Amino acid sequence: MSSDLLNLTLRVWRQAAPNQPGEFRDYRLNGVSTHMSFLEMLDVLNEQLIAQGEVPVAFDHDCREGICGMCSLMINGQAHGPDRGTTSCQLHMRRFRNGETITIEPWRADPFPVIRDLVVNRSAFDRIIQAGGFVSVNTGNAPDGNSVPVPGVRQEMAMDAAACIGCGACVAACKNASAMLFVSAKVSQLSILPQGQPERANRVLNMVAQMDKEGFGSCTNTSECEAACPAEVSVAHIARLNREYMKAMLFADH
């Protein structure tokens, strides 16, 4: 567990407010331990900036263990950086080389406007869930948990989709800023499970309509989203969403 130290140049997007122009600014950061997480490295940068009297870099983060979905950095042009299945907070500096210049940007997508520096507004995702990403069951209405068996294989498939952390990397990675992977993960989970059946058709239609309304782009099956997804949600769910959508359009009595 011996640690090497890196000297880095950080090229960071700075933007004071949503309607103001932003710019890249370069910062030297020396003596970065390879055991640090990427966000810990940014903490160290911010301490350095505060000492120098410069306003620290704003970035979203919370759990720092890869599950809350709050962190959202484009690192050298890749959403959450170079590692597969990894959020920015779980990326470690051992992945970088001494002397490297690292470019750090916010998610780039029209439906995710920048609030400040690296912080963006992702409330569009909440509105998509509001459009139908749920099962309409009031508290107290539930039958016994074992009354409807769910085959283990189906449950595992649903869980694969439900693992989505809602971070928005799929949108940021997509050249069209499409939210199809995010939307398909919820549509897929609930269409696989018996509990999601009664609202199956309306759910997919309403969620897709909201997605379009928010201004997300179309899916052109490039699969960049899957490559960037920290929860490793598969594009197979997009295929399922398309089937669900088609079926709902053609056959549902809604």
Partner 1 sequence: MFRVASDELNSRVPDGPLQQKWDKHRFNMKLVNPANKRKYSVIVVGTGLAGGSAAASLGELGYNVKAFCFQDSPRRAHSIAAQGGINAAKNYPNDGDSIWRLFYDTIKGGDYRAREANVYRLAQVANNIIDQCVSQGVPFAREYGGTLANRSFGGAQLSRTFYCRGQTGQQLLLGAYQALMRQVSTGRVKMFARREMLELVVSDGVARGIVVRNIENGQLEVHTADAVVLCTGGYGNVYYLSTNAKGCNVTAAWRCHRRGAYFANPCYTQIHPTCIPVSGDYQSKLTLMSESLRNDGRVWVPRNQGDRRAPGQIPEGERDYYLERRYPSFGNLAPRDISSRAAKERTDAGFGVGESGLAVYLDFRDAIVRDGEDAVRKRYGNLFHMYEKITAENPYQVPMRIYPAVHYTMGGLWVDYNLMSNLPGLYVLGEANFSDHGANRLGASALMQGLSDGYFVIPYTIGDYLASTQLPKLSDDHPACTSAKKDAEDRLKKLLAVNGRRSVDSFHRELGLLMWDYCGMARTRTGLEATIPRIRELREQFWKDVRVLGSGDTLNQSLEKAGRVADFMEFAELLAVDALHREESCGGHFREEYQTEDGEATRRDDLYSYVAGWEFQGAGNAPVLHKEPLIFENVKPSTRSYK
Taking the least distance from each CB to partner 1, the nearer of 121 and 220 is: 121
Q: Work out how close the CB of 18 gets to partner 1 at its nearest, in angstroms, rounded to a whole number.
A: 9
Instruction: Enter the tokens of residue 7.
Output: 């000297």
Taking the least distance from each CB to partner 1, the nearer of 58 and 236 is: 58
Q: Work out how close the CB of 78 gets to partner 1 at its nearest, in angstroms, rounded to a whole number.
A: 16
Taking the least distance from each CB to partner 1, the nearer of 108 and 222 is: 108
Taking the least distance from each CB to partner 1, the nearer of 5 and 239 is: 5
What one-letter code names the amino acid at 210? Q
Calculate Rg over the CA atoms of the chain: 21
Taking the least distance from each CB to partner 1, the nearer of 163 and 222 is: 163
Cβ atoms of 75 and 103 closer than 8 Å: yes
Q: Work out how close the CB of 193 gets to partner 1 at its nearest, in angstroms, rounded to a whole number.
A: 5
Q: Is 235 exposed, middle or buried (0-12, 13-18, 19+ CB in 10 A)?
A: buried
Q: Work out how close the CB of 221 gets to partner 1 at its nearest, in angstroms, rounded to a whole number.
A: 26
Which secondary structure element, helix H or strand E, spans residue 74, and what is its range? strand 74-75
Parallel, antiparallel or unpaired: strands 74-75 and 78-79: antiparallel
Which residue is it, tokens 């928010």?
214
Q: Work out how close the CB of 58 gets to partner 1 at its nearest, in angstroms, rounded to a whole number.
A: 5
Cβ atoms of 88 and 75 closer than 8 Å: yes
